[in-house]
Structure 1
Amino acid sequence: MRTFRSRTTVLAAAGAAVFALSLTACGGDGSGVRSAGAASGDTTVTVSSSKSAGSSDVVGAAKGSDGSVARGAKSGGAGASAAPVCTTKDVSVSAARHGGPPYTHIVLTAKNTSGRSCAMTGFPEIQFLESHRENVPPVAKSRPAAPVVLKAGAPAYALVKLSDGGAHEDNEVVTDFSVTLQGGGGMTAVAAPGKGGIAVDPAKWATGYWTYELRNGADDF
């Protein structure tokens, strides 16, 4: 009987060890998710191959050499992959009027022309006027719940408010302006839509974050 009890104890201990090893192989926390680190010199967004029950998103984080952080992405395909931050070499940025008249808003479109996936981080840093060198401020409620990772050929959008549309506003006409992509994406010049350009009011302007599509409520400003 003593021999039988001793062997039972040994078998139980061995089973526990095997179970612990299987958890370690899955990622250490039993989730089956492994983090993909940032490559040297690149800021990346981690896309996980695993989803928890009842969840459509798995969020990770990676830190680039510039100290910026791009956080998780919608998991969409099998296998873990990392999408580098979109740069001005990866996307083509254009502007179009939105609504109106009066034309109080434009929509920026950033189309991925790189042939690979990349991540649009934060909001477009816009400078309309030489006399006002500060960036157009972002609207917090427009920030998407998940990062925007663009597949090849896919677009991202940002709604931008120019003015309140009043005839007596202190507006200035703009025919082109600069857009900087956050996360080290670089700066590009964008032509203003319309033959006569656009009228902007520094006291009223604002920009939304990059999103997959414009959303009622979040993009009403």
Structure 2
Amino acid sequence: MLKLEDLNVYHGSSRTLKSVSLSLASGEVLCLFGRNGAGKTTTLKAIMGLLPAHSGRVTLDDVELTGLPAHEVPKCGIGYVPQGRRLFAELTVEENLEIGLMARRTDREILTEVFRLFPVLRERLTQVSGTLSGGEQQMLAMARALCLDPSVVLLDEPTEGLMPSMIATIRDVILELRSNGKAVLLVEQRIEAVLAVADRVCFIENGTVKATMPTAELRADLASFRQYAGIV
């Protein structure tokens, strides 16, 4: 479904992604794992057209995304939840969701599914999003992305700074998205969160893919985290 082939991205004269290749299928959760600055967020931004590719390709179901303006990429069916949520803090919950619907001109029926996944948002529709709790803001950021009815969802550290009960809610939603056939590309630093939801883990170091392994193998051999990421 989603493919990156020999993707190279530069920040100025520095090459931050170095021939990155990966693939993501429907109904699969792939986690990008590595130290801070390894290139995980850069990979997501390159997919979304927020950082230009110097060379290589990004395709979704054989549709070329490389070189598309950033505002056109969501129309192809990719929902993006950036690190830090990036909500329109001065707008209400409902207005943030409306922006998600407008991005792809999605049928409003999708809101039924969104509120099923995040019922608290129905109760907060008129509340200014900047006054929500951190967990509620994360739910709204995910809900806004899901308003596109995407086939692929990119999540950048969705559990960062959240209390355990909210982390469990986000985990359950990710698992449900997978069961509904969505492809999820997840950036996550917490090993226990990775093992709970991911089908495969892609280890990135200094902008290079070092290995991609099934999560089942990692559960049996946590030393692989030390080998490829130096974190355990």
Does TM, normalized by the shorter one, top 0.5? no
Specify which structure has the bigger relative contact order, considering alpha-carbon pairs within 8 angstroms and separated by 6 or more residues. 2
Length-normalised TM-score, structure 1: 0.24
Query: Which is greater in Rg?
Result: 1
Name whichever structure is richer in strand by fraction.
Answer: 1
Name whichever structure is richer in helix by fraction.
Answer: 2
